Amino acid sequence: MKMFSSYLKEMKIASRGFYFYIEILVAVILLLVVLFAINPEPDGKQVEYLYYDMSDEVFDYLVDKDITEGRARWIDDTEFELNPIAFELKNEDTGKVVSYDFKDSKTVTARTFVGLREKTGKIGKTAHILDSEEDALRLSFQNGNVAATTTVNEEGDFSYRYFLQGYETDRYSNMLYVLHTYSQDEIDAQMDTQVIRETGANTVPMDNQEAVVPIFVVIAGALMGIFIIMAYVFLDKDEGVIKAFAVTPSSIWNYLVTKIFVVMTTVIISSTIIVIPIMKLRPNYLLFYLFLLVTTFAFSSLGLLISSFFDTISKAFGVLYTIMITLALPAFSYYISSFDPVWLRFFPTYPALQVMKDLLMGQGDIANVILYSLVFLVSGILLLAMANSRFKKTLTV
């Protein structure tokens, strides 16, 4: 009861200050950015320049098949201005280098169609069909996009040549080799032998707006709690509140816990502002708020421990920002799936992001959530105990 009354007192004091509203304001701004600046299902920006060396009948058959099956559609023709340009092409198979040097300018018109995504019907890529391979090459190197030539010989066999820019991944290049080296039946047969274990089979993938919510909740929510709780502590240090515990019966432990409760309240409010309008009824809110509270508790305890080593927030800035930037590194792995080194998995924000994402998608494994919740809870208690010990040692009358 005493701790609850202390919490209410701290909430009243915090609500009169500036720091209490910082995270709430940040949450409102982030919500507006997500709703109005991020397209949930944007059109793909991939552009290709193509040349088909075949009869009109074969070309019409290929394209009409994609259009009939809903994989593509024609759009208005596109006009391009070809500028003078010089470049070299290296054949990856033979190593032969061919030089091109175009000194003239000219205008060309390309027939244009868009490839459509199977599930959403959104535009996946835009393809411009040129009347010659040279025009496709010039546009490719002028604008930095992929070019390709498709040829049909007298026997009706297809051959393909891709002109890449060099920034493509090995995985992409190998995929092109496989796609055109083996028949579709051989590829399908090989894929049928692959064992695929599908997790969350009934789960709808996140769109672009939903995908940023876990980052905002963990990085801008829990980590922001480190800064906020340190700001509260240093404000109290400046006003002599901390030193008063040396001559009063009040418990320093009670003081630290109520500070954490204040930050928890702020994080719950700010996270709710972001999550509910975007995710709606999709998440498992019971497990979501449970995990949010224990992660906030752990990070806030870390903030208290850091603040125990410094007298002012200006002296702690270096350590504070270093820790926050370090803990934010797993966000790169979240957005760039190919960047997932083993050492990054030891950062506490790595499992926090993964678990939070699963919970927001409505597919969080209860055992997994409870396990990581216990890990963060125990870690928070240990950090809080260390912070309590540090504050007691540094108390002076």
SS3 340: coil
Determine the Cα–Cα distance for residues 251 and 117; give it in Å rounded to an integer.
Answer: 61
Paired tokens of 229: 């709780």
SS3 248: coil
Paired tokens of 153: 């010989």
Residue type, 48: E
Domains of the chain, by residue range, sit at 2-38+207-394, 46-188
Determine the Cα–Cα distance for residues 26 and 269; give it in Å rounded to an integer.
Answer: 11
Sheet holding 123-129, edge to edge: 72-82, 106-116, 123-129, 46-53, 146-152, 158-163
Determine the Cα–Cα distance for residues 350 and 345; give it in Å rounded to an integer.
Answer: 6
The residue count for the chain: 397
Classify strands 72-82 and 158-163 as parallel, antiparallel or unpaired.
Answer: unpaired
Q: Are 300 and 225 in contact (CB under 8 A)?
A: yes
How many helices (H) and strands (E) are present in the chain, helices listed first?
16, 8
Residuewise pLDDT in 10s, the chain (397 residues) = 667 777 777 788 777 777 778 888 888 998 999 889 887 776 667 888 999 888 888 888 877 777 887 788 888 999 999 999 888 888 877 888 888 898 889 999 999 988 887 766 778 788 899 998 889 988 988 888 888 888 888 777 788 888 887 766 677 667 766 666 666 566 667 666 766 655 554 556 777 888 889 988 887 766 777 888 888 888 877 776 666 655 555 678 888 888 899 889 989 999 999 999 999 888 989 999 999 999 999 999 999 999 888 888 888 888 888 988 888 888 888 877 767 888 888 899 999 998 998 899 887 778 888 999 999 999 999 999 999 888 887 765 4
